[in-house]
Structure 1
Amino acid sequence: MFRLTVCLLTYNSARLLRDVLTPLMRIADEIIVIDSGSTDDTLSIHEEYGITPIYNPYTMHGEQMNMAISHASNDWVLCMDSDEILDDETLKYILRLKSGDEPPADRGWCLSRYWYVLGEQTRTLYPISSPDYPLRLFNRHHVRFNHRPVDDKATGAAQVTRIPGHVRHDTFYSLHEVFSKLNIYTTRVVKYQNLRPPIARGVASAVGAFFKWYLFSGAWRRGKVGAVTGLYATLYSFMKYFKAWYQHQDKRESAARERTDSHLID
């Protein structure tokens, strides 16, 4: 038998937080919450559950998760986001796992996570196919999250087992959130990755994404939700290169102005 710390990230998460916390309370011996500055009812909901979040300004998802893990009192941790809801099958599996012998420290377990967009289950959301199986339950001395700016993941487990069930990942609940996260994610990619800036590359990437993630994936059959996920993939693929191109042009213009100012001074 082993004790389990749940590590949870929140930011303006009041919409789903009670649905997220209620099942987690059944399996957690300890809950560590890292909050990055919520201004809605998130903090008062935590108070209802007797939880005192730790404030940390958001940089990247992996860094937030690693901070939560570092505060855990137990070796075994389950890492969750505030839009992921565990079902009964997943809970029962984890409870059975906890009641047995403590597993080898290099073992890990991944969730069966199903993606929902605008309240409907979807098969694809660029660059993910649903369900996906992120490693989330592991020994904190062997596993940490990497530092990818988008789509980071936990790495380090030697053997990974899939937990059965249907974890609802209720992301992108409104069009506003779709475009807000599209802007945030593409800006973050440009900031932390060295993208080649030719804008033609962005056009080609967007065309390829449209065919792959809207037509070939069958998203076109899903009506408005399929249109949203197809548009998201197309715009994401274009905008990251457009922003890299724009940033490159801005730097070139700034350098040119500095050279001009230098010649005028001379």
Structure 2
Amino acid sequence: MLSVIVITHNEAQNIERCLNSVRWADEIIVLDSGSTDNTVDLCKRFTDQVFVTDWPGFGPQKQRALEKAKYDWVLSLDADEEISAALQQEIQDAMLKTDIQGFEIPRLSSYCGRQMKHGGWWPDYVLRLFRRTTGRFSDDVVHEHIEVTGIIERLQNPILHEAYVNNDEVLHKVNTYSSLGARKLFQRGKSSNLPHALLKGWWTFMRTYFIKAAFLDGAEGLMLAISNAEGSYYKYLKLRELHLTNKNK
């Protein structure tokens, strides 16, 4: 039997598509961190297990959701992801394997309307399906991951991921994730300066566009490389800012 866990915050444009794709699961658990749109009301159309909490960061929040799950298998989804019928069947078959503790699933992400096959975005295997008793989330406030004890295999059909709908969302996420990433590095004792931030941004662009061949995805590939570079640049620039602010206190 399967528990699906999802965390949300102002995901009204995505959440119905996500939850509708897993309404076949045995239970759906949603943890919302104070949405100001109608995300919570939309979630209640699919499950009565909708909880509103504070926001401790991605890893701790997903661990909270995991601790509310009661079935043997858990599928963790983001609100902007969905499961196809083919992946549903593959998941149901995979859960019959008694010697496997977790499964990595490829993720096919779209950027401003285009499904990306290059730039490091495909096949982008993510560990999302696992036995509840053998897995837990890391404590990272951003870029969290699932830690599973035991044998892990891979599935073939992808999770469909609407990563960025438009450029407004790109800019919002670049700002949000660069701030979270800077805080994470700061807590780990890392430091930065302006030349370092510039170098990180330049290298991220080169790696995304040329080494990982984002240019093969046309205009969106170039846009992706630029936004990745901006995210890296601002992360290290904000890290520098955190050190300056802390030094002046």
TM-score, normalised to structure 2's length?
Answer: 0.90
Query: 5 Å matches for 1:178-193?
Result: 178-193=170-185
**Separation (CA, whole Å) in 1 of partners of 2:217 and 2:87:** 28
**Separation (CA, whole Å) in 1 of partners of 2:127 and 2:43:** 25
> Which letter maps to 1:107?
Q
Identity of aligned residues (%): 26
> Which letter maps to 1:158?
G
Identify the match of residue 201 of structure 2 among 192, 199, 206.
Answer: 206
Higher Cα Rg, which structure: 1
**Separation (CA, whole Å) in 2 of partners of 1:94 and 1:246:** 45
Deviation at 1:212, TM superposition (A): 1.1
SS in structure 2 opposite 1:48? coil
Q: Please list every run of 5 or more consecutive structure 2 residues that lacks an aligned counterpart in the other structure.
A: none
Deviation at 1:218, TM superposition (A): 2.6
- Are 1:163 and 2:155 an aligned pair? yes
* Equivalent residue number for residue 138 of structure 2: 146
**Separation (CA, whole Å) in 1 of partners of 2:93 and 2:31:** 27
- Are 1:59 and 2:51 an aligned pair? no
> Which is worse superposed, 141-150 or 212-221?
212-221
Asked whether the 8 Å contact 2:215–2:221 carries over to 1, the reply is yes
Deviation at 1:144, TM superposition (A): 0.6
> Which is worse superposed, 221-230 or 58-67?
221-230
Identify the match of residue 116 of structure 2 among 122, 145, 150.
Answer: 122
**Separation (CA, whole Å) in 1 of partners of 2:209 and 2:110:** 16
Query: 5 Å matches for 1:1-266?
Result: 3-26=1-24, 28-98=25-95, 100=96, 103-104=98-99, 107-124=101-118, 128-193=120-185, 194-252=189-247, 254=248
Q: Please list every run of 5 or more consecutive structure 1 residues that lacks an aligned counterpart in the other structure.
A: 256-266
The 3 A distance-change label for structure 1 pair 224 and 35 is same
SS in structure 1 opposite 2:244? helix
Deviation at 1:166, TM superposition (A): 2.3
Deviation at 1:5, TM superposition (A): 0.9
The 3 A distance-change label for structure 1 pair 90 and 202 is same
Asked whether the 8 Å contact 2:118–2:217 carries over to 1, the reply is no
CA RMSD of aligned residues (A): 1.9
After superposition, give the CA deviation of every residue in 1:63-86 in whole Å (9 maximum; x if it has no partner): 111101101122321111111111
* Equivalent residue number for residue 264 of structure 1: none
TM-score, normalised to structure 1's length?
Answer: 0.85
Asked whether the 8 Å contact 1:138–1:157 carries over to 2, the reply is no
Deviation at 1:176, TM superposition (A): 1.4
SS in structure 2 opposite 1:14? coil
> Which letter maps to 1:112?
P
> Which is worse superposed, 49-58 or 3-12?
49-58
